[in-house]
């Protein structure tokens, strides 16, 4: 960006040069300096990763990844057994019930955990990366 454009933007936003260019630096008003500092702090704050704490009532990530792998397999079986009207020949709830039994949880806990992880995309991505890895292993 050219210096003239920068100066015009600063002037249009209420930032005026204070004095002349001294030692190759522009001296701008305190307001602009404060605005610059605040913007820098916001940028720095937004770039810091916060580690999400998983509550006790939520299924751990590794277990959730295994469950979601089983859910993907179950859904593939359900879709693979559709009749010509698009209705499943298999009761999907039976598959889900078996998964709940396998991991000794109930539907409510699964849904709460699923909702938690979808609200935290960084964790959900980690889970699905593991799901893909598990599915590739089983495919071999």
Q: Tell me the whole-structure pTM to 2 decimals.
A: 0.61
DSSP the chain: --HHHHHHHHHHTT--B-S--BTTB--B-HHHHHHHHHHHHHHHHHHSPPPPPPPTTSPPHHHHHHHHHHHHHHHHHHHHTB-TTS-BSS-HHHHHHHHHHHTT--HHHHHHHHHHHHTSHHHHHHHHHHHHHHHHHHH-
For the chain, the domains span: 3-47, 61-139
pLDDT tens, residue by residue, 113-140: 999 999 998 899 999 999 999 988 888 7
Residues 94-106 pLDDT 10s? 888 999 999 999 9
Mean pLDDT of 87-91: 71
Task: Report pLDDT for 77.
Answer: 78
């Amino acid at each position: 960006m050219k210096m003239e454009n920068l100066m015009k933007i600063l002037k249009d936003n209420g930032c005026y040069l204070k004095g002349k260019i001294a030692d190759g630096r522009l001296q701008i008003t305190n307001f602009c300096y404060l605005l610059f500092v605040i913007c820098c702090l916001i940028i720095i704050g937004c770039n810091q990763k916060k580690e999400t704490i998983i509550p006790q009532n939520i299924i751990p990530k590794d277990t959730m990844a295994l469950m979601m792998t089983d859910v993907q397999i179950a859904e593939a079986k359900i879709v693979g057994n559709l009749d010509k009207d698009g209705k499943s020949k298999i009761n999907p709830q039976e598959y889900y019930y078996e998964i709940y039994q396998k991991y000794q949880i109930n539907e409510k806990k699964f849904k709460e955990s699923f909702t938690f992880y979808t609200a935290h995309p960084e964790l959900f991505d980690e889970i699905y990366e593991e799901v893909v890895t598990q599915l590739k292993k089983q495919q071999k």
